[in-house]
């Protein structure tokens, strides 16, 4: 057995034994300990040999949450899966907020356990047979990091593409395979999607990884300087050439050269570039010596190069030479499951201390629903700004300062963007719908979100509705006449309460918890509904 090594932390001897048996039978290599403290001692000496930690939450000592905090600080790259008998959606969200990968509510079947584990690790038996496919052994650590959004270090984080959306994972997988070849790669996609990050990823995944990665932005260098910058020059080649200088091609010898925004290269220079790429040799400007090149060329463009070829703005022969392997990053809004992991990654990157700010659930929903015209770069800017505005260490929606249309049902928001189990997904959506409903954003005719935007500042905030009780209703209605007078809202609220009562077989406590209101407010609302003639299921 190789590769997939698990550390299991469980204080219940019988359960620990049963879990170890299940994992060993499934061909995972597994080490078990009976408390978080033992796990820490083990990790201090053996962290490099562990790929996943599964830990109980409720244990003597610092418990699973203490272990989570420790791992976040010292072993942030190892995913942690928590198990607890006290599972509620809230505690699950809290643990995930603090960095846990996922949450297993006890009791769970061995099938559920293995399903969860297989999302992060491959059993040893499969590991060797899958070497050549898209989950190769070497790909695993990256995929895990990408899924977990935790990064080994900020330094590494800078160049690491974070991905959780299936589309992006497939793209990275393809990029990794292309990286092994010598093919020129053309990366296209809208501005700020991460084309340069992907180019670096290809270089770092290639056999040239230890050699230089040199990037040149063809749009940022004046036309008359671009040629000299690319190909170098000899002393006296032109006015101001006081000494010989190597170009980017030479500097990239043995490694990779990224021609960023290649679409902006003047046509005359395109011809010279083509020659170099055909012959793999160049002469510096003003020089006579031929310099042989061993460089892998990567290029990016956020323009439609094919269209530019049609319009005569880009050479067709050069297009085919650099476009040997085309890769495209879609706009961020088209890979929505990347949004939250990327946002968390940006926070990690920009937090000054080890205490990384967390995203509130409401902020996550806001990020999720926004259209991101500036893609990941905009997301990064928004999070940097939010870190400055946030006063609590928790990013709230207002810290994001996004002013796009807020359309809650546009995307249903998964609790954990990349791994929501159906139940948790349903829970999250129900919660989300409840909030939207309270915000009067549901159109009763279609049952879809869509309150007119101009109403938004005339409506109460969710917490104000939460705090509604017998005493403050008069003030509330005075402050928010539109809201209270809205028969539409009443209908929606009644429907929601009845549906939730039905779902929880009338259990008031669960219903109140689900709706995010106090049991007292729920009683008050049910009494009103009874007065109106509703039949309320008994608890």
Ligand X SMILES: Nc1ncnc2c1ncn2[C@@H]1O[C@H](COP(=O)(O)OP(=O)(O)OP(=O)(O)O)[C@@H](O)[C@H]1O
Q: Find the shortest distance in angstroms from Cβ 341 to ligand X.
A: 9
Rounded Cα gap, residues 114 and 227, in angstroms:
57
x/- letters, 129..168, toward ligand X (CB under 6 A) = --------------------------------xxx-----
Residue among 193, 256, 263, 419 that touches ligand X (CB under 6 A) = 193
Q: How far apart are CA 3 and CA 128, in angstroms?
A: 9
Q: How far is the CB of 176 from ligand X (least distance, A)?
A: 14
Residue for token pair 């796009």: 404
Q: Which of 321, 377, 503, 523 binds ligand X (CB under 6 A)?
A: 377
* Matching residue, tokens 């926004």: 370
Write out the H or E segment, with its range, that includes residue 490: helix 487-503
**Distance of alpha carbon 247 from alpha carbon 195, whole angstroms:** 23
Please choose, out of 51-59, 65-73, 372-380, 479-487, the segment that lies near ligand X by the rule CB under 6 A: 372-380
340 belongs to the binding site for ligand X (CB under 6 A): no
- When binding is defined by CB under 6 A, the residue of 93, 121, 376, 512 that contacts ligand X is 376
Q: Which stretch binds ligand X (CB under 6 A): 189-197, 204-212, 224-232, 317-325?
A: 189-197
Residue 441, interface with ligand X (CB under 6 A)? no
Given a contact cutoff of 8 angstroms between Cβ atoms, the answer to whether 191 and 303 are in contact is: no
CB-nearer residue toward ligand X: 41 or 219:
219
Q: Could you say which of 99, 192, 247, 408 contacts ligand X (CB under 6 A)?
A: 192
Q: How far apart are CA 87 and CA 83, in angstroms?
A: 8
For residue 243 the two structure tokens come to 């000494």
**Which of residues 377 and 385 has its CB atom nearest to ligand X in the complex?**
377
Q: How many CA atoms lie within 13 A of 20 on its CB side?
A: 16
Beta bridge partners, 256, equal 213, 296
**What is the Cα–Cα distance from 273 to 255, expressed in whole angstroms?**
18
**Which one, 160 or 273, has the nearer CB to ligand X?**
160
**Region of 69-77, 374-382, 394-402, 410-418 interacting with ligand X (CB under 6 A):** 374-382
Is 526 a binder of ligand X (CB under 6 A)? no
Show contacts with ligand X in window 254-313 (CB under 6 A): 300, 302
- 101, two tokens: 């990968």
Choose which of 99, 194, 255, 336 interacts with ligand X (CB under 6 A).
194
What's the chain's length in residues? Answer: 539
Nearer to ligand X, 165 or 427 (CB): 165
Contact 188, 305 (CB under 8 A): yes
Closer CB to ligand X, residue 342 or residue 356?
342
Q: What angle do CA 36, 42, 47 make, to 5 degrees?
A: 110
> Would you say 325 or 480 has its CB closer to ligand X?
325
Counting DSSP H helices and E strands in the chain, the numbers are 26, 16
**In whole angstroms, how close is the CB of 273 to ligand X at the nearest point?**
19
Instruction: List the beta bridge partners of residue 282.
Output: 291
- Residue 122, token pair as written in the block: 């491959």
> Distance from CA of residue 186 to its chain's centroid?
24
The residue (of 291 and 342) whose beta carbon lies closer to ligand X is 342
For ligand X, which residue has the nearest CB? Answer: 194
Could you tell me the smallest distance in angstroms from the CB atom of residue 142 to ligand X?
12
Tokens of 35: 């408390």
User: Which residue among 176, 345, 440, 489 contacts ligand X (CB under 6 A)?
Assistant: 345
Closest approach, Cβ 349 to ligand X, in A, equals 8
Indicate the residue among 193 and 492 with the shorter CB distance to ligand X: 193
Which residues are within 8 A (CB) of 422 and not within 5 positions of it... i.e. 6 or more apart? Answer: none
Identify which range of 195-203, 360-368, 424-432, 513-521 contacts ligand X by CB under 6 A.
Answer: 195-203
Query: For residues 55 and 149, which CB has a smaller minimum distance to ligand X in the complex?
Result: 149
Q: Does residue 195 interact with ligand X by CB under 6 A?
A: yes
Nearest distance, CB of residue 140 and ligand X, angstroms: 18
CB-nearer residue toward ligand X: 194 or 460: 194
| Alpha helices, DSSP H, located in 280-421 | 305-310, 316-322, 339-350, 361-369, 375-389, 397-400
Per CB under 6 A, 191 contacts ligand X:
yes
Identify which of residues 83 and 164 has a Cβ nearer to ligand X in the complex.
164
For 215, list phi and psi in degrees, rounded to 5: -120, 140
Span 108-127, contacts to ligand X by CB under 6 A: none
Nearest to 78 by CA among 114, 21, 39, 105: 39
Contacts of 172 (CB under 8 A, 6+ apart): 142, 143, 146, 161, 163, 198, 201
Q: Does 197 bind ligand X (CB under 6 A)?
A: yes
Pairing type for strands 281-282 and 291-292 reads antiparallel
Which residue in 102, 227, 380, 513 binds ligand X (CB under 6 A)? 380
Q: How far is the CB of 526 from ligand X (least distance, A)?
A: 48
Nearer to ligand X, 39 or 298 (CB): 298
- For ligand X, which residue of 196, 399, 416, 493 counts as binding (CB under 6 A)? 196
In this structure, the dihedral spanned by the alpha carbons of residues 161, 165, 169 and 172, taken in order and rounded to 10 degrees, is: -40
18 SS3 class:
helix
366 near ligand X, judged by CB under 6 A: no
Binding residues for ligand X (CB under 6 A): 161-163, 189, 191-197, 300, 302, 342, 345, 376-377, 380
């Amino acid at each position: 057995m190789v590769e997939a090594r698990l550390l299991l932390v469980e204080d219940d001897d019988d359960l620990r034994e049963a879990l170890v048996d299940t994992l060993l039978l499934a061909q995972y290599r597994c080490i078990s300990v009976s408390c978080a403290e033992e796990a820490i001692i083990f990790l201090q000496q053996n962290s490099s040999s562990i790929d996943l930690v599964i830990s109980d939450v409720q244990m003597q000592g610092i418990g699973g949450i203490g272990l989570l905090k420790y791992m976040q600080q010292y072993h942030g790259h190892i995913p942690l899966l928590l198990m607890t008998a006290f599972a509620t959606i809230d505690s699950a969200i809290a643990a995930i907020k603090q960095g846990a990968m996922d949450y297993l509510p006890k009791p769970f079947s061995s099938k559920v356990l293995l399903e969860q584990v297989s999302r992060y690790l491959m059993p040893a038996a499969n590991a060797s047979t899958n070497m050549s496919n898209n989950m190769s052994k070497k790909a695993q650590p990256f995929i895990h990091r990408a899924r977990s959004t935790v990064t080994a270090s900020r330094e590494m984080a800078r160049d690491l593409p974070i991905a959780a959306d299936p589309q992006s994972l497939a793209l990275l997988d393809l990029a990794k395979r292309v990286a092994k070849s010598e093919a020129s790669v053309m990366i296209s996609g809208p501005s700020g999607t991460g084309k340069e990050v992907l180019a670096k990823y290809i270089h770092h995944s290639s056999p040239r990884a230890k050699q230089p990665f040199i990037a040149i932005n063809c749009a940022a260098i004046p036309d008359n300087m671009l040629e000299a910058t690319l190909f170098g020059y000899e002393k006296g080649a032109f006015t101001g050439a006081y000494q010989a200088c190597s170009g980017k091609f030479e500097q990239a010898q043995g490694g990779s050269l990224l021609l960023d925004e290649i679409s902006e290269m003047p046509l005359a220079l395109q011809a010279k570039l083509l020659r170099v790429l055909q012959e793999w040799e160049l002469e510096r400007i003003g020089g006579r010596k031929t310099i042989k090149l061993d460089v892998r060329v990567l290029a990016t463009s956020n323009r439609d190069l094919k269209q530019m070829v049609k319009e005569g703005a880009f050479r067709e022969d050069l297009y085919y030479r650099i476009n040997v392997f085309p890769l495209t990053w879609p706009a961020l809004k088209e890979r929505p499951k990347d949004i939250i992991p990327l946002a968390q990654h940006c926070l990690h990157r920009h937090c000054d201390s080890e205490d990384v700010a967390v995203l509130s659930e409401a902020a996550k929903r806001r990020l999720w629903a926004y259209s991101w015209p500036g893609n990941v770069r905009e997301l990064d800017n928004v999070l940097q700004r939010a870190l400055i505005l946030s006063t609590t260490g928790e990013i709230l929606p207002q810290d994001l300062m996004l002013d796009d249309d807020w359309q809650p049902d546009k995307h249903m928001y998964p609790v954990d963007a990349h791994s929501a189990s159906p139940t948790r997904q349903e829970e999250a959506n129900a919660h989300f719908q409840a909030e939207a409903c309270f915000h009067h954003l549901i159109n009763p005719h279609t049952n879809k979100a869509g309150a007119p935007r101009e109403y938004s500042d005339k409506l109460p905030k969710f917490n104000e509705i939460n705090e509604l009780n017998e005493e403050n209703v008069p003030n509330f209605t005075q402050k928010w006449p539109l809201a209270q007078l809205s028969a539409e809202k009443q209908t929606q609220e009644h429907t929601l309460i009845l549906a939730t009562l039905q779902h929880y077989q009338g259990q008031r406590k669960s219903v109140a918890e689900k709706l995010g209101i106090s049991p007292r407010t729920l009683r008050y609302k049910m009494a009103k509904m009874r007065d109106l003639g509703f039949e309320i299921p008994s608890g």
